[in-house]
């Protein structure tokens, strides 16, 4: 069964790796299922190859199942014609609203709307005093857009996340008198309402305690109240999994339920129903697991655990022994049948991978071991075995994770989670009692938090890796698996040898005299990275958002780490506008920065900065850098005081212009601005910039626009784009292309690499 489950999974993976789905997806799905049925019938003729045909059938059924669901989900996407239109929709709040910030955000299950509006959308209600509740029926006037997100090497695929969640569009609620609640919560959303109510009772019990989000997360899987700093500490220590209602927590509740069930069947009334201890264990265990999984919102890890526990308890009910491999195979097939998009979630790979590694680590061992030694060995095996998955998906490892988990897992599982659950029940029944229990749980978290925080701040807490080639990833995976298997020392040496190429891999860097420019996709803002042979410059840091996050943390740092860059030699912030400087502090706090050079309008209180001014020059690895603007005191407006930087290598040059407008462009042109090969177009392609004289002076081959998808200013303006095209430039906007990589070597400017083309995924709308 394990091999069949793996074949079923591989069929799903083949579909999810496609850059685009077949045009006739319905026919393709039917063909896959037909071939699967033929493979099942083939053993009647070719009896000697029965196993191969069954595995082929499992693979084909998996591919057909994934393709059919993917095509159906894509068919519910928002049509481009409805983007930006005012639409009247009626629907039910289908998620726990995020009301921690000032602007509520939630998912809406649409009941009535114009043709083409997806059944599931995500909305934000800016500057609203209303607080919609889960399960309520509302009418809204909304503006929607298709799924969108940043597209950069190393960045989180937000579009893929939305697709996996079944969200066909995102948008915001317009200020309109037609926005009103139509009906209270429906009984259909009783579980969601219960989760929300319990979360509210937990908040009422502990108030605005800093650990409120952690307590709510452990109780009902609601982590909206957790701060970004708390998430960073959990991530740096490798303990993020504790903040999901994980398999370990559900298994503990199932064991408690089984114990209670076996005790209850001893009552005389249960005896008259001919129920024995096994029946009680199965009923109690399944009820406990199902209840706690529903509280968690049935996420992928909880689905996996719940299905596996149901398989185990089903075998117990039937008095049958079930091997671990068979149980994992059945659970794998069950999860994929319930959620065909589970392979797109890293949680599924981590949860199944952890179970498989534990089985590998304990197999073939006959010597007796103590509890502590056995726990330590399993913990070490899981840490080593999951290294390839963590590097491939997150690009980092927590080096303090083994020690942090060795202390945190028993504390959370055996002490904190039971305490939180008891406190939640008490708060639901009588708030003062809940306040005492949950207050004690919060006090315990406060007591242990400094140790976790100290671990996260260690210099070696997190180690970042560049994106690995496919062969290096395969070798690293094989080496990690060999290392956790029981074996003799030559096997360990072979395992280490396989891991070394991946652990020591470094991406190629430009040769002396050449450089690589990357216009990052940061939405409506700007950030550019330039890398020479041994130096890195980052020009602008992208925008900050109302939520408190910024693209320095979300885009720039992940990109630099994915390229193996561990230090910025110069961070230049052109001017003070938030769409250029918003991520500055995140970058400075997240990676060593040798020099911070800023425009005159940049406010950098507490940071050691230098002012950029015309005439500054330096040379890195045979590449010339020159600041062309501003002249000291010449401009008072933010945009026209932007730092303008020219970078010249042996094979070409680029010009970075910030948000300069007509006056600054005229000054640059009058000073004798020379032709360049690549221009990052001023002010995102607005009509206040890109004068004909400036375009004629530069005459680039590439005109790059840093813009956001469907931004409210409609940048770049079409007439501006046409002017650059008429001058012979190829216009490229980051909203359409994702990150743009341009390599300038000694032979000249190479063809640009567009991330949305080189890393195509079928769920991306563009």
With CA atoms as reference, report the closest residue to 486 among 354, 361, 355, 382. Answer: 361
Q: Measured in Å, how far apart are the chain's first and last C-alpha atoms?
A: 39
Which conformational region is residue 238 in: left (phi greater than 0), alpha (psi within -120 to 50 degrees), or beta? left
With CA atoms as reference, report the closest residue to 241 among 134, 389, 107. Answer: 389
Tokens 């068919």 — which residue?
75
Which conformational region is residue 575 in: left (phi greater than 0), alpha (psi within -120 to 50 degrees), or beta? beta
- The distance between the two most distant Cα atoms of the chain, rounded to a whole number of Å, is 100
The sign of the torsion formed by the CA atoms of 369, 373, 377, 378 equals: positive
Q: Which residues contact 577 (CB under 8 A, 6 or more apart)?
A: 601, 638, 639, 659
With CA atoms as reference, report the closest residue to 92 among 68, 79, 110. Answer: 110
Q: What is the pLDDT of residue 530?
A: 98
Q: Which residues contact 297 (CB under 8 A, 6 or more apart)?
A: 195, 221
Per-residue pLDDT tens over the stretch 126-182:
888 888 999 999 999 999 999 999 999 999 999 999 999 999 999 999 999 999 999
With CA atoms as reference, report the closest residue to 165 among 394, 351, 342. Answer: 342
Whether the CB-CB separation of 355 and 29 falls below 8 Å is answered with no
- Per-residue 3-state assignment (H helix, E strand, C coil) for 260-310: HHHHHCCCHHHHHCCCCHHHHHHHHHHHHHHHHHHHCCCCHHHHHHHHHHH
Name the stretches of the chain with pLDDT < 50. Answer: 366
DSSP per residue, 613-656: -TT-EEEETTEEEEEEEPPTTS--STGGG--EEEEE-SS-EEEE
Radius of gyration of the chain from its Cα atoms, rounded to whole angstroms: 29
Whether the CB-CB separation of 170 and 144 falls below 8 Å is answered with yes
- Number of Cβ atoms within 10 Å of the Cβ of 486: 12
Which residue(s) pair with 172 in the sheet? 124, 143
Distance between CA 764 and CA 757 in Å, rounded? 11
Q: What is the pLDDT of residue 686?
A: 96
The CA distances from residue 315 to 225, 273, 318, 319, in Å, are 40, 21, 5, 6
DSSP reduced 3-state for 332 = helix
- Per-residue 3-state assignment (H helix, E strand, C coil) for 679-721: EECHHHHCCCCCCHHHHHHHCCCEEEECCCCCCCCCCCCHHHH
DSSP per residue, 184-203: ---GGGHHHHHHHHHHHHHH
Question: Which tokens in the block code for residue 170?
Answer: 């995102």
Q: How far is CA 528 from its chain centroid? A: 22
| Helix ranges, 17-129 (H) | 25-41, 50-74
Per-residue pLDDT tens over the stretch 208-265:
899 998 998 888 888 888 888 888 888 888 888 777 666 667 877 888 888 888 887 7
Whether the CB-CB separation of 551 and 521 falls below 8 Å is answered with no
Whether the CB-CB separation of 375 and 383 falls below 8 Å is answered with no
Question: Which tokens in the block code for residue 327?
Answer: 């149980």
Backbone angles phi, psi at 412, to 5 degrees: -65, -45
> pTM of the entire structure?
0.90
With CA atoms as reference, report the closest residue to 145 among 164, 117, 125. Answer: 117
With CA atoms as reference, report the closest residue to 66 among 144, 6, 10. Answer: 10
């Amino acid at each position: 069964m394990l091999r069949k489950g793996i074949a079923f999974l591989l069929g799903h993976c083949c579909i999810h790796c496609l850059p685009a789905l077949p045009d006739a997806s319905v026919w393709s799905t039917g063909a896959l299922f037909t071939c699967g049925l033929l493979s099942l019938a083939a053993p009647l003729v070719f009896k000697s190859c029965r196993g191969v045909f069954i595995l082929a059938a499992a693979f084909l059924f998996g591919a057909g199942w994934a393709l059919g669901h993917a095509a159906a989900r894509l068919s519910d996407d928002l049509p481009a014609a409805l983007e930006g239109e005012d639409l009247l929709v009626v629907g039910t709040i289908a998620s726990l609203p995020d009301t921690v910030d000032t602007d509520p955000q939630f998912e809406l299950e649409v009941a009535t709307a114009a043709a083409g509006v997806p059944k599931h959308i995500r909305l934000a209600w800016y500057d609203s005093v209303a607080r919609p509740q889960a399960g309520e029926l509302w009418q809204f006037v909304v503006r929607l857009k298709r799924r969108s997100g940043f597209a950069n090497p190393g960045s989180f695929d937000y579009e893929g996340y939305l697709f996996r969640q079944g969200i066909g569009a995102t948008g915001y609620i317009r200020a309109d008198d037609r926005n009103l609640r139509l009906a209270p919560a429906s009984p259909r959303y009783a579980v969601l309402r219960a989760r929300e109510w319990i979360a509210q009772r937990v908040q009422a019990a502990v108030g605005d305690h800093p650990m409120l989000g952690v307590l709510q997360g452990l109780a009902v899987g609601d982590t909206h109240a957790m701060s970004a700093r708390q998430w960073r500490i959990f991530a740096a220590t490798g303990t993020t999994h504790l903040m999901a209602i994980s398999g370990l927590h559900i298994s503990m509740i199932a064991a408690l339920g089984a114990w209670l069930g076996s005790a209850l069947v001893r009552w005389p009334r249960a005896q008259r129903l001919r129920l024995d201890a096994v029946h009680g264990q199965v009923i109690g265990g399944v009820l406990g697991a199902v209840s706690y999984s529903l509280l968690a919102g049935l996420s992928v890890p909880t689905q996996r655990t719940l299905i596996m526990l149901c398989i185990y308890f089903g075998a117990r009910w039937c008095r049958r022994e079930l091997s671990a491999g068979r149980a994992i195979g059945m659970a794998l097939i069950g999860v994929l049948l319930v959620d065909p998009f589970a392979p797109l979630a890293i949680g599924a790979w981590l949860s199944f991978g952890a179970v498989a590694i534990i089985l590998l680590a304990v197999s073939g061992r006959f010597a007796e071991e103590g509890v502590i030694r056995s726990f330590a060995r399993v913990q070490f095996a899981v840490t080593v075995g999951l290294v390839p998955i963590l590097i491939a998906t997150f690009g980092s490892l927590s080096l303090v994770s083994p020690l942090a988990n060795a202390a945190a897992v028993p504390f959370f599982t055996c002490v904190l989670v039971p305490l939180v659950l008891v406190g939640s029940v008490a708060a639901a029944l009588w708030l003062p009692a809940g306040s005492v229990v949950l207050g004690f749980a919060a006090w315990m978290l406060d007591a242990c938090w400094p140790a976790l925080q100290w671990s996260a701040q260690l210099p070696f807490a997190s180690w970042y890796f560049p994106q690995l080639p496919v062969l290096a990833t395969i070798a690293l995976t094989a080496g990690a698996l060999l290392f956790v298997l029981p074996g003799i020392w030559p096997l360990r040496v072979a395992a280490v040898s396989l891991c070394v190429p991946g652990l020591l891999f470094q991406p190629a860097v430009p040769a002396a005299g050449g450089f690589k420019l990357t216009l990052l996709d940061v939405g409506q803002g700007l950030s550019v990275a330039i890398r020479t042979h041994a130096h890195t410059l980052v020009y602008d840091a992208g925008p900050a958002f109302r939520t408190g996050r910024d693209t320095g943390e979300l885009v720039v740092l992940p990109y630099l780490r994915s390229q193996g860059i561990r230090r910025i030699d110069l961070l230049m912030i052109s001017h003070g506008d938030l769409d250029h400087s918003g991520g500055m502090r995140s970058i400075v706090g997240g990676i060593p920065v040798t020099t911070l050079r800023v425009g005159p309008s940049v406010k950098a209180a507490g940071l050691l900065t230098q002012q950029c001014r015309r005439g500054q020059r330096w040379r890195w690895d045979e590449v010339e850098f020159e600041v062309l603007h501003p002249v000291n005191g010449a401009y008072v407006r933010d945009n026209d005081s932007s730092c303008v930087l020219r970078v010249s290598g042996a094979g070409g040059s680029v010009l970075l212009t910030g948000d300069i407008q007509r006056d600054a462009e005229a000054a640059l042109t009058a000073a004798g601005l020379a032709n360049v090969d690549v221009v990052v177009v001023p002010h995102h392609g607005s009509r206040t910039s890109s004068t004909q004289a400036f375009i004629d002076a530069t005459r680039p081959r590439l005109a790059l626009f840093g813009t956001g998808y469907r931004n409210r200013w409609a940048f770049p303006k079409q007439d501006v784009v046409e002017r650059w095209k008429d001058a012979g430039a190829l216009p490229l906007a980051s909203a359409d292309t994702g990150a743009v990589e341009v390599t300038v070597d000694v032979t000249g400017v190479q063809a640009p690499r567009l991330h949305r083309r080189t890393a195509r995924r079928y769920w991306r709308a563009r």
